[in-house]
Amino acid sequence: MTHTVLQIGPISDYIDPKLAQTFRLLKWWEQSQPDALLVAEGANITGIATNAPVGVPPGLLDRLPALKVISSRGVGMDKVDLARANTLGIQVAGSFGVLNGCVADMAMALILDTARQVSAADRYVRSGKWAHQRYPLTTRVYGKKLGIVGLGQIGSLIARRAAGFDMEIAYTSRRAHSDTPHRYFESARALAQWCDFLVVVVPGGAATRHLISREVLDALGPEGYLVNIARGSVVDEAALIEALASRRIAGAALDVYEHEPHIPEALSALDNVVLSPHAGSATRETRTAMDDLVVDNLRAYYENGKVLTPAAA
């Protein structure tokens, strides 16, 4: 039996054709009259394929009476109404277990870049300035204090990598973990006050919106660096721009932004920030594994009634 799957937005050149070969695929983003599609096909659509930064448009779940399964590429569920899906008995899958290592690698790359200024120094060399003046001194990474906001699977891998750089590690999260030797702080503000590098690894969504506020940035202080590989919504971007521009913090490295792919000009004009295009999981190896899981989760649901890598409700 061919299952009808609604794909919300393009995912990749690799997996989009496979989705179309495997299912009867309807493309939400190509519809000039989405309401007409829902009237004509709403009762046939049993699956959704999507991508974490896009998720599922608000309210759509309630307009698809036959929907049983959502398969998203990525681990962020901030754009999927998990509670509503749960109430409606819809299974939700993400690409859990395959991207953690790459995102932790990216966190280390950004820590190193914001302190040692690899990207900025590259621009300096290419511009020919080196011939006239030495590049200014930068900041040491090894032996410094790393504060991790969110010690989940990715946060724990960052801690492991940072230990290899002889960093002193502490964290904050909703509660202290009993299975870690690292010091616990009750708030992001207290952690920021303590550390040299503050790395943000919590899920996005209403509960963490602007968790990294002006106060937290001020606690990080003029020698401190912020790294965000989580979601743009977690950091008050306007407050961050002000803090960077006035050197109330030393620097930042960002993989995510409040209104992707829009980057405020005031941010890209600053030289004490490293800007990465939401690429934490973007290696060929990891993206292939993530893409495959989008199809495999849908297939597993249709064959056995259970997705392979479910999101926690």
CB of 259 to ligand 8YV, least distance (A): 15
Tokens of 174: 């909703």
- What are the counts of helices (DSSP H) followed by strands (DSSP E) for the chain? 11, 12
CB of 190 to ligand 8YV, least distance (A): 27
Query: Which 239-298 residues touch ligand 8YV, going by CB under 6 A?
Result: 278, 280-281
Residue 200 burial (10 A CB sphere; 0-12, 13-18, 19+): buried
CB of 258 to ligand 8YV, least distance (A): 14
Given the residues 231, 237, 258, 287, the one annotated as active site: 231
The DSSP secondary-structure symbol of 311 reads P
Nearer to ligand 8YV, 47 or 76 (CB): 76
State the binding string over 169-208 for ligand 8YV (x if CB under 6 A, else -). Answer: ----------------------------------------
Strand partners, 39: none
Task: Name, in order, each residue with C-beta under 8 angstroms of 54's C-beta and a sequence gap of 6 or more.
Answer: 8, 9, 79
Total residues contacting ligand 8YV by CB under 6 A comes to: 11
Query: Which 7-26 residues touch ligand 8YV, going by CB under 6 A?
Result: none
Nearer to ligand 8YV, 46 or 72 (CB): 72
CB of 148 to ligand 8YV, least distance (A): 17
DSSP 14-47: THHHHHHHHSEEEEGGG-S-HHHHHHHHTTTEEE
Task: Give CA–CA dist 70/229, Å, rounded.
Answer: 24
Nearer to ligand 8YV, 55 or 224 (CB): 55
The amino acid at 61: L
Give the residue nearest to ligand 8YV (CB): 74
Nearer to ligand 8YV, 166 or 260 (CB): 260
Nearer to ligand 8YV, 169 or 230 (CB): 230
Closest to 109 (Cα-Cα) out of 249, 4, 253, 261: 253
Nearer to ligand 8YV, 53 or 224 (CB): 53
Catalytic residue check, 278:
yes
Query: Which 39-78 residues touch ligand 8YV, going by CB under 6 A?
Result: 51-53, 73-76
Catalytic residue check, 168:
no
Task: Give CA–CA dist 52/78, Å, rounded.
Answer: 8
The secondary structure of the chain in percent helix, strand, coil, rounded to multiples of 5, reads 40, 20, 45
CB of 108 to ligand 8YV, least distance (A): 17
Query: Which 86-125 residues touch ligand 8YV, going by CB under 6 A?
Result: 99
Catalytic residue check, 299:
no
232 binds ligand 8YV (CB under 6 A): no
Task: Give CA–CA dist 24/91, Å, rounded.
Answer: 19
The amino acid at 182: H
Task: Order the strands of the 197-200 sheet from edge to edge.
Answer: 183-184, 168-172, 145-149, 197-200, 225-228, 251-254, 273-275
CB of 212 to ligand 8YV, least distance (A): 17
Kindly list the residues in this chain that would bind ligand 8YV in the complex (CB under 6 A): 51-53, 73-76, 99, 278, 280-281
Q: Write out the catalytic residue numbers.
A: 231, 260, 278
